[in-house]
Amino acid sequence: MFHIMSNKKYILGNWKMNKVEVDIESFFSTFNGLVENIPENIVVGIAPTFVGLLHATKNASPRAMIMAQNCSAKTNGAYTSQVSYQALLDIGINMILLGHSEVRQYLHETDEIINEKVNTLLNNDMKPVLCIGETLEQFEQEKTNEILKNQLEKDLLNIDKSKLSNLIIAYEPIWAIGTGKTATNEIIEKTFMFLKQTLIQLLGDESKNIALLYGGSANEKNAKDILSIKNVDGVLVGGASLDPNKFIQIIKSC
């Protein structure tokens, strides 16, 4: 029913607040040798903290794309503590996580702010990875579809449809992030079908160019099953991406 324009698979790691300089060097000294023979259709990305970005870009194999965990919606101006897309682009970063549940919760970023960031990145030919997801309470109240549709409507408002091949959406049920819980294959399949249908309603056939990823306690043990589910184009990995051997197992499960 739904046609994917590419056979790409995305394996993206989010390091959150982990890894200082010596850890980054140690990680890549092992990881670079493991990732060299990975097929080109597998896109490997790693998102360290801001302070680790430059060191990561200097140590990572060209086979691993270094990503940022957030950016400002503003391109320049008096915004102390903010990091613009241009500053990230200057050090070779063009893929950026936006709207992660922890950013929404702890930094109080609204859908309107996230939408501004999505548009800024797409309009400047960068690659936003938009994170969406529901809380445990919302899941138990069977509001998952309602919450996801509301986030998509607001986060993707007024975006340029010609740029959709640069957009990635990561569904991360908040109740499964860092908890060890993972949505069942049935839940993931039903949710991703709903996401596909909703994106077509919002953006038309051009939405087939959007890659959909699953996040939420994805690891070396469950990644193969998750990646085999219809409409899942990759995974956004948390804790398991900190170990180069575990992360390469996830990548090879493609």
Reported as a pLDDT band with limits 50, 70 and 90, residue 182 is confident
What is this structure's pTM?
0.95
Residue range 169-175: average pLDDT?
96
CA angle, residues 19, 21, 23, in degrees to nearest 5 = 50
- Which residues are the active-site residues? 100, 172
DSSP codes of every residue in 200-223: HHHHGGGGGG-EEEEESS--TTTH
What is the helix (H) or strand (E) element at residue 43, kind and residue range?
A: strand 42-47
pLDDT digits (tens, 9 = 90+) for 124-142: 999 999 999 999 999 999 9
Name the residue with higher pLDDT: 17 or 100.
Answer: 100
pLDDT at 6 over 60: no
| 1 has pLDDT over 90 | no
Beta strands in 87-233 (DSSP E): 95-98, 127-132, 168-171, 211-215
Tell me which DSSP letter residue 127 carries.
E
- What does the longest C-alpha to C-alpha distance in the chain come to? 48
Tell whether the model's pLDDT for residue 2 goes beyond 90.
no
Nearest to 212 by CA among 201, 71, 197: 197
Distance CA 70, CA 128 (A): 9
pLDDT of 213 > 70? The answer is: yes
Q: Cβ-count burial of 162 within 10 angstroms (0-12 exposed, 13-18 middle, 19+ buried)?
A: exposed
pLDDT in tens, 34-71: 999 999 999 999 999 999 999 999 999 999 999 999 99
